[in-house]
Amino acid sequence: MKSVLKLAPVLAALLAGSVHAADIKIGTVESLSGGAAQYGNNIRNGLMLAADEINAAGGVNGNKLVLVGEDDQTKKEEAINAFKKLIFQDKVLMVFGPTLSNTALAAHPIAQAAKTVAFGTSTTVDGITDPGEYIFRNAVTESAVIPVTVKVAKAKLGLKKVAVMYGNNDALSKGGYDIFKKALADQGIEVTTTETFSTGDVDFKAQLTKIKSTNPDAIVLSALIAEGAPIVAQARQLGIDVPFIGGNGMNSPKLFDLAPGAASDKLWVGSPWSLDNATPENTKFIAAYKARYNVAPDQFAAQAYDAVHIAAAGLKNTKLSGDLAGDRSAFRAALAPVKWTGATGPFEFVQIKNKAGKLAGFDAVQTPIISVTKGGRYTIVK
């Protein structure tokens, strides 16, 4: 685990010991290496961009944001260690992350117990915010997005029967499968076969050959992009040309590298963000991101970027006293009512109830956008 990442220009000052006492230390835990690095590095980029914009404009109530970063290496134990270090040793006000739902489910209870805000920007599995009122996210849940994706795809494609593939050993893919299964049943779509795979698998031809024999109208795929993109590519190699319908993990431009050319066409996904969404806020974000990183952003960068601005809006209404426990509590109270319109559109929090029926953390309220891939890009479905 790397103790400090080069997240923002102000971090150089931290390392040099020149950060002012009034500066606001914010922890970040992302998967900068390992299987989820394609998400984590884009999240880091979005966090950095927003923090630097805010600091360049004078900070929050005159205080600079200092990002103190950790790499969880896409491992639960590293995420747990990172949260403990940031909260108890580095004494950050709050923590963004981790990248994956698997690691968040392991690490967020630490933040809740320490009464420190943990803010997920990419964690979409149901139950992420169950630990309590210090757990927030601006990532829209799969249960809010997948049924809409299925409904739109059914209407546009005339779906009657589909095959299903999902990763059976990570929380996002398994959770997504459960939601897809219910959405398909609710909308009267037959499932011809259900096939599984595991993280790290590289050969999916046996599952795809069985799927091909059932002649589905489409393939529902709940997967992370590291396995999902090769599945799409191998399906095309086997002559399977039907559309794919994916969950949150498939909404990544990495698809076009791993399944180049026409192989990546006809993937349907839902998300609150699209590169094609030409709102003033999104247009500004995309331009700034391209100028800084010389590449187009993705959903995960956009959500991270908005998350920093949402947190900053909460900080503006937080009277920091220098008492860490008190400041953490005051910030949590100020964050909950924040409403923001950013790259991902209009946003607000809603407090949820956990499985025990008790008030818990805060989920995102946003409207999903349905997109389909064509010609190496995600295009909004009209």
Give the domain ranges of the chain. Answer: 9-140+278-366, 143-271
> What is the pLDDT, as a whole number, of residue 20?
52
Alpha-carbon gap, residue 366 to 172, rounded angstroms: 19
Higher pLDDT, 309 or 354: 309
Each residue of 278-298: pLDDT tens digit? 999 999 999 999 999 999 999
pLDDT confidence of 9, banded at 50, 70, 90?
very low
Q: What is the mean pLDDT of residues 44-48?
A: 98
> What is the pLDDT, as a whole number, of residue 106?
97
pLDDT confidence of 8, banded at 50, 70, 90?
very low
Is the per-residue pLDDT at 203 higher than 90? yes
Query: Which conformational region is residue 119 in: left (phi greater than 0), alpha (psi within -120 to 50 degrees), or beta?
Result: beta
First vs last Cα of the chain: how many Å apart? 44
The secondary element (H helix, E strand) that includes residue 120 is: strand 117-120
C-alpha separations of 195 from 116, 163, 238 in Å? 40, 8, 16
Task: Name the least confident of 129-133, 306-310, 351-355.
Answer: 351-355
Is the per-residue pLDDT at 11 higher than 80? no
Residues 340, 136 contacting (CB under 8 angstroms): no
Each residue of 224-266: pLDDT tens digit? 999 999 999 999 999 999 999 999 899 999 999 999 999 999 9
Output the 3-class SS for 281-349.
Answer: HHHHHHHHHHHHHCCCCCHHHHHHHHHHHHHHHHHHCCCCCCCHHHHHHHHHHHHCCCEEEECCEEEEE
Q: How many CB atoms lie within 10 A of CB 278?
A: 10
Looking at the domain covering 9-140+278-366, what would its CATH class be?
alpha beta
Is the per-residue pLDDT at 12 higher than 90? no
Render 184-220 in DSSP notation, one character per residue.
HHHTT-EEEEEEEE-TT----HHHHHHHHHT--SEEE
Q: In what order do the strands lie in the sheet with 190-197?
A: 190-197, 161-167, 218-222, 244-246, 267-271, 369-373, 378-380
Query: Could you tell me which of 241, 242, 246, 268 has the C-alpha nearest to residue 153?
Result: 268
pLDDT confidence of 90, banded at 50, 70, 90?
very high
> What is the pLDDT, as a whole number, of residue 192?
98
Beta-bridged to residue 71, according to DSSP, are 30
> Mean of the per-residue pLDDT values for the chain?
94
Rounded percentage of the chain residues whose pLDDT exceeds 70: 95
Q: What are phi and psi of 197, to 5 degrees?
A: -155, 175
Q: In what order do the strands lie in the sheet with 24-30?
A: 65-71, 24-30, 94-96, 117-120, 135-137, 359-365, 345-353, 339-342
Q: What is the pTM of this model?
A: 0.90
pLDDT confidence of 22, banded at 50, 70, 90?
confident
Q: What is the mean pLDDT of residues 169-198?
A: 96
> What is the pLDDT, as a whole number, of residue 355?
87
Fold assignment, 143-271: Rossmann fold (3.40.50)
> Residue 333: CB partners within 8 Å, gap ≥ 6?
none
